[in-house]
Amino acid sequence: MNLISILRDGWYFYSRNLLTLALLCLPLITLEAALSHQMAELVSDNTLILARLAVSLVIYPLYSAPLILFLQARSQGQQPRIPDLLAAGLRFWPSFALLTGLSTTAIMLGASLFVLPGLWLMVKLAFAEYLLVAERQTPLQALHESFKLTNGYFWPTLGCVLIVMLPLWLMDMWSQSDPAISANAVKSILIDSLSRFLQLFSSIVLFRMFMLLSTRKPTDS
């Protein structure tokens, strides 16, 4: 599996479909960032993580499911309309929110024990969302199948995640530690929205890897 080829293909798709991705996801991403910032103003530090998780459980599936449907449609040569994608994605909201809650809780528990278990779980669960939406699996089936799908491909998957996400994690750490940004609501929301939008690139890269691994499932098993 050639990581350079996967990243190149992902960047080509991301750059060629930038306007569609912005129209499809950016309004909800901005809403998610604004609500997260508002939660930071309203709740205590002890409950901030749970409050932001609650916001993510509500908003994240609303643009992630349509994004996956868009990626699947484009891989089949189709060009669906944005309203149709949003409407179709809405039907996945209950199961997608449950999947997000289960996977996020597992990763947070792993990270609380030590960084490496959380990182390991993040990689092993990397394809659960695609299995849920693209293959219409239940949340538990998607989690179980993602574990199986990454067997033998842990390090390539980890490499893709780190190459794309590490700079964004560092940007988030910088923005959260800079008083001039954290004290300014507009700047904070804009930078958070930009970071979340750039993270769509990781979703595209992982979907490309998911498609490659899915074609190998019959022979691997």
pLDDT tens digits for range 141-153: 999 999 999 998 8
Higher-confidence position of 188 and 42? 188
52 touches 29 (CB < 8 A): no
Convert 79-88 to b/e letters by CB count within 10 Å (16 or more is b): ebeeeebbeb
**Of 69-73, 85-89, 111-115, which range is least confident?**
111-115
pLDDT value of position 1: 67
Rounded to whole angstroms, the Cα distance separating 65 from 57 reads 12
Percent of the chain with pLDDT over 70: 95
pLDDT value of position 115: 67
pLDDT value of position 109: 84
Percent of the chain with pLDDT over 90: 56
pLDDT band at 219 (very low <50, low <70, confident <90, very high): very low
Rounded to whole angstroms, the Cα distance separating 103 from 82 reads 27
